[in-house]
Structure 1
Amino acid sequence: MASSCSTSLLVLLFAVFFTLPRFSVASNEFQVGGSKGWVVPSANDTNFYIDWASNNRFHVVFKYKKDSVMEVGGADYTSCNTTHPTLFSNSGNSVFKLDHSGTFYFISGASGHCERGQKTIVRVMVDESLPEHAKSSSYHVPIEVSQMIFFQFVLTCVASYVI
C-alpha cells in the first residue's frame, strides 16, 4: 500500500508542478500608456489613455516620475477630485491588481494633471468562456480546489504510512 501511494504521490507532484506555470502565465502586466508611460498627454490627444485602455485586455503598472496615481470612483474621475481616492500611490512604479470584472478609474494626483487629461478608465470584462458560477467568484477557485484535493491526497498517503 505504501509503495503504490509513493508512486501515486510522485506522479501527482509532477502533474502539479507542470500545470502550475500555466496559471502564472495567464496573468499579464501592461504599462499604462505603453512606452510613453504615465505622463500628461499632449493638448490635442486628451483621449490618449482612453484609447490605450480600450486596446489592452490584468495587472496595470503605472511608471512615472514626480507624480502619483489614484484609483477613484466614477464621479471623482469625471470631476478630477483627488480628495477621496480608493487607493493612492506615489512610488513611481505602482501596480494595481484588477481582480474582478467592472470599471476601474485612475487619475493623476499631481495638481492640474487630471484636468489636462492624465486619467484613464479600465474596464475588466467577464470571460464569457467561464462557467456562470466562476464569473461571480474569484478566478483563484480552481487553483484552491486543486490544492485542497492535493493536500487531502498527501494526508491520505501520510496516514497510510503511519497506519
Structure 2
Amino acid sequence: MGSSSSILLLSAIITLLLSPAQCKDLLVGGDAGWVVPPPNNHHFYNDWASRNRFRTNDTLRFQYEKESVMAVADEEEYEQCRSSHPMFFANNGNTSVTLDRPGLFYFISGVAGHCKRGLKMIVKVLEPPSPPLQAADDRSSPNGATAVAVAVAGFIPTVSALCSFL
C-alpha cells in the first residue's frame, strides 16, 4: 500500500511541476493578425480571446502593417477608444506583450478610427492554480510524503517564472 501511494504522490508532483510551466505564445487574431476586422464582425478579437485561456507569462504576438497596438489602463479608455497615457504603445509591425499578472488587459489600435471599427480586444488572464493543501501534521503520512508535497508546492512559482525566459 505504501509504494502505490508514493507512486500516486510522485505522479501528482510531476503534474504540478509541469503544468504551470506551459507558457503559450499566441498570435493575436490567428492567421489574420492585428488588422481592422470586416464591418459585420466588430467583436472578432474578443471572440478570438474568448476561445483561448490565458495564464500569467503567456505572450501575445501582434503582427500588423501600417497599424499600432496600445495597452490602455481600464474599460473606460477601451470603450472610448482613446488614451492620453497608454500603458504600452508599439507600431513596429511585430509586437510581443507578456501577460505579467492575472486580471484584465485592454488593447486598442492607436490608428485613428480603427478601434471604433473593432480593432480592440480584452484579454482575461486566469489566476494561477492554488498549491495543494498542506496536511495538519506529518503523522498523517508515515513515509514523509507531506513534507515532499509542501516542498514541491513552494517550488512551483519558481518553475512558472521560467516561462519568461523560454
TM-score by length of 2: 0.64
Task: Identify the residue that residue 18 of structure 1 maps to in structure 2.
Answer: none
Task: Identify the residue that residue 128 of structure 1 maps to in structure 2.
Answer: 129
Task: Identify the residue that residue 93 of structure 2 maps to in structure 1.
Answer: 92
- Change in 2 beyond 3 A, CA 1:25/1:82: same
Q: Equivalent residues in 2 for 1:47-86 (5 A)?
A: 47-57=43-53, 58-73=58-73, 74-86=75-87
Give the Cα–Cα distance (whole angstroms) in 2 for the partners of residues 39 and 25 of structure 1: 31
Give the Cα–Cα distance (whole angstroms) in 1 for the partners of residues 80 and 40 of structure 2: 20
- Change in 2 beyond 3 A, CA 1:144/1:127: closer
Give the Cα–Cα distance (whole angstroms) in 1 for the partners of residues 64 and 20 of structure 2: 26
- Change in 2 beyond 3 A, CA 1:47/1:130: farther
Q: Which amino acid aligns with 1:100?
A: R
Task: Identify the residue that residue 142 of structure 1 maps to in structure 2.
Answer: 158
List gaps (5 residues or longer) in structure 2.
Answer: 1-17, 134-154, 162-166
Q: CA RMSD in A?
A: 2.6
List gaps (5 residues or longer) in structure 1.
Answer: 1-21, 133-138, 146-163
Superimposed CA distance per residue, residues 75-113 of structure 1 (whole angstroms, 9 cap, x where no aligned partner): 110100132210001111111100110000000001100
Give the number of the structure with larger relative contact order, counting CA–CA contacts within 8 Å between residues 6 or more apart: 2
Partner SS for 1:114: coil
TM-score by length of 1: 0.65
Task: Identify the residue that residue 35 of structure 2 maps to in structure 1.
Answer: 39
Partner SS for 2:128: coil
Larger radius of gyration: 1
Partner SS for 1:50: helix
Shift of 1:144: 9.4
Tell whether the 8 Å contact from 2:21 to 2:159 is kept in structure 1 after alignment. Answer: no
Identity %: 44
More helix by share: 1
Task: Identify the residue that residue 105 of structure 2 maps to in structure 1.
Answer: 104
- How many pairs align? 118
Superimposed CA distance per residue, residues 101-136 of structure 1 (whole angstroms, 9 cap, x where no aligned partner): 00000000011000111000000011335459xxxx
